[in-house]
């Protein structure tokens, strides 16, 4: 018998043995695995907890594409409806606007400016509603004060608005916006002060979505104003404490609806003469 034949015979014998044993082992293993799949995750055996294979514990991790499931903050839609305002005379520490009918779900933005004192201006409404503070901006430790607050109307109603301060005169501007969306949210706010310039400019801010941005300013000089820009958008003058764009007043607001999220932007306006002690507040809503 040749060496080649001996080796061939051994190969055949090993293959037969292997096939026989694989069938013997593999079939019971498969049956056992399937039985385990049908068993509960814990099993009581004579009062003891027995470990049982739980197929639910087999887990696969699928890598997520970076940023693929990032959900951007939702932006609502704001439509300017109307404004009301008032401006008191010197020596009068409060002013109340004419009545204004607001719609259900409207965003109502209030800005009040008054001459030098060390406390924030105080708002009240009739009928009374709960207001959310945005910012109080003071020119110095006891200089003129600009204060912004807002609320979302719970129902259609006719309202008046009042601002009270420790000093006079007082200027109040109220802006009403119809809103459509999942809920009004203040995205960002920033305050600033300026003097001896006709070029009003807010501090630098950024928005996370296409926001409605409201920019209001108050000054100790009675001036008229021209709309500027808010980021890449052109601003629109919306409110004048004098009640008329052609009549000099102590406070003004403008707004713009941004078409996209914007970073490191400013809001601007131009005044008819140098401002004295000017306070400014930006509020961006999404």
Could you report the per-residue pLDDT of 150-186, keeping only the tens digit for each? Answer: 999 999 999 999 999 988 899 999 999 999 998 999 9
On whether residue 148 sits in a domain, the answer given is: yes
Count of C-beta atoms within a 10 Å radius of residue 53: 14
Sign of CA dihedral 37, 43, 46, 49: positive
Residue 66 lies in a domain: no
Average pLDDT over residues 229-258: 94
Q: What is the pLDDT of residue 120?
A: 84
Shared domain for 50 and 113, answered yes or no, is no
| Contact status, residue 269 vs residue 223, Cβ threshold 8 Å | no
Please give the tally of structural domains in the chain. 2
CB count within 10 Å of CB 196 equals: 9
The answer to whether 188 touches 215, Cβ cutoff 8 Å, is no
Res 36 pLDDT > 50: no
Residue 197 maps to a domain? yes
> 51-55, 134-138, 206-210, 241-245: which has the minimum mean pLDDT?
51-55
- CB atoms under 10 Å from CB of 39, counted, come to 13
Q: Where are the alpha helices (DSSP H) in the chain?
A: 3-38
Band (66; pLDDT cuts 50, 70, 90): very low
Bridge partner list, 138 = 145
HSE-CB of 172 using CA atoms within 13 angstroms:
29
User: What pTM does this model have?
Assistant: 0.74
45 and 130 in a common domain: no
Instruction: For residue 16, give its domain range.
Output: 3-57
Cβ neighbours, 10 Å, residue 282: 26
Residues 125, 203, single domain; the answer is yes
Please report, for residues 36, 177, 214, 268, the alpha-carbon distance to residue 239 in angstroms, rounded to integers and kept in the order given. 75, 13, 11, 15
Q: What is the pLDDT of residue 246?
A: 82
Same domain, 9 and 123: no
What would the two tokens of residue 81 be? 């409806």
Q: What one-character DSSP code corresponds to residue 74? A: P
For 183-196, the pLDDT digits (tens) are 999 999 999 999 99
Beta bridge partners of 181: none
User: Could you tell me what percent of the chain has a pLDDT over 90?
Assistant: 66
With cut-offs at 50, 70 and 90, classify the pLDDT of residue 32. very low
Asked whether residue 49 falls in the same domain as residue 88, the answer is no
28 falls within a domain: yes
Using a 10 angstrom Cβ sphere, with 0-12 exposed, 13-18 middle and 19 or more buried, the burial of residue 12 is exposed
- Judge if 218 and 275 occupy the same domain: yes
Q: What percent of the chain has pLDDT over 70?
A: 74
Overall average pLDDT of the 35-59 stretch? 41
Of the given ranges (22-36, 87-101, 115-129, 164-178), which has the lowest mean pLDDT?
22-36
Sheet holding 170-180, edge to edge: 77-87, 170-180, 107-114, 145-152, 132-138
Give the chain's mean pLDDT: 81
Can you list the positions of beta strands (E) in 76-130? 77-87, 94-96, 100-102, 107-114, 122-126
Q: Which of 115-119, 141-145, 159-163 has the lowest mean pLDDT?
A: 115-119
Q: How far apart are CA 264 and CA 261, in angstroms?
A: 10
**Is the pLDDT reported for residue 79 higher than 60?**
yes
Q: What's the sign of the alpha-carbon dihedral 284, 201, 132, 241?
A: negative
Residue 207, in any domain of the structure:
yes
Which pLDDT belongs to residue 245?
Answer: 81
Q: Taking 60 as the threshold, does the pLDDT of residue 265 lie above it?
A: yes
- pLDDT value of residue 12: 52
Q: Specify the pLDDT at position 127.
A: 98
- 145 domain-assigned: yes
Q: For residue 71, tell me if it sits in a domain.
A: no
Q: Are 46 and 183 within one domain?
A: no
pLDDT on residue 44? 41
**Are 35 and 170 in the same domain?**
no
pLDDT mean over 225-241: 96
CA 83, CA 254: separation in Å to the nearest integer? 11
Mean per-residue pLDDT, 203-232: 96
| Band of residue 8 on the pLDDT scale cut at 50, 70, 90 | low
Asked if residue 253 is part of any domain, the answer here is yes
| pLDDT given for residue 109 in this prediction | 98
pLDDT at 11: 56
Residues 141 and 280 reside in one and the same domain: yes
pLDDT at 140 over 60: yes
């Amino acid at each position: 018998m040749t060496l080649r034949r001996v080796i061939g015979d051994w190969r055949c014998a090993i293959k037969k043995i292997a096939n026989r044993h694989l069938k013997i082992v593999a079939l019971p293993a498969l049956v056992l695995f399937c039985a385990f799949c049908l068993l509960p995750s814990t099993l009581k055996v004579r009062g003891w907890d027995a470990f049982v294979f739980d197929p639910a514990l087999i887990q696969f991790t699928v890598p997520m594409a970076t940023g693929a499931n990032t959900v951007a903050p939702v932006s609502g839609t704001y439509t300017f409806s109307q404004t009301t305002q008032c401006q008191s005379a010197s020596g009068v520490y409060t002013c109340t606007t004419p009545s204004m009918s607001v719609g259900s779900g409207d965003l109502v933005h209030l800005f009040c400016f008054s001459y030098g004192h060390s406390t924030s201006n105080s708002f009240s409404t009739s009928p009374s509603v709960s207001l959310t503070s945005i910012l109080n901006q003071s020119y110095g430790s006891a200089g003129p004060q600009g204060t912004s607050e807002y609320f979302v109307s719970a129902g259609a109603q006719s309202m008046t608005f009042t601002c009270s301060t420790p000093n006079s005169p007082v200027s109040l501007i109220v802006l009403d916006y119809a809103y459509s969306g999942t809920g009004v949210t203040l995205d960002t706010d920033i305050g600033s002060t300026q003097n001896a310039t006709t070029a009003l400019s807010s501090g630098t801010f950024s928005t996370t979505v296409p926001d409605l941005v409201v920019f209001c300013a108050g000054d100790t000089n009675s001036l008229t104003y021209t709309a500027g820009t808010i980021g890449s958008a052109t601003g629109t003058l919306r409110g004048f404490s004098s009640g008329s764009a052609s009549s000099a007043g102590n406070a003004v607001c403008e707004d713009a609806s941004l078409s996209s999220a914007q970073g490191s932007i400013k809001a601007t306006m131009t005044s008819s003469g140098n401002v004295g002690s000017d306070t400014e507040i930006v509020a961006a809503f999404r």
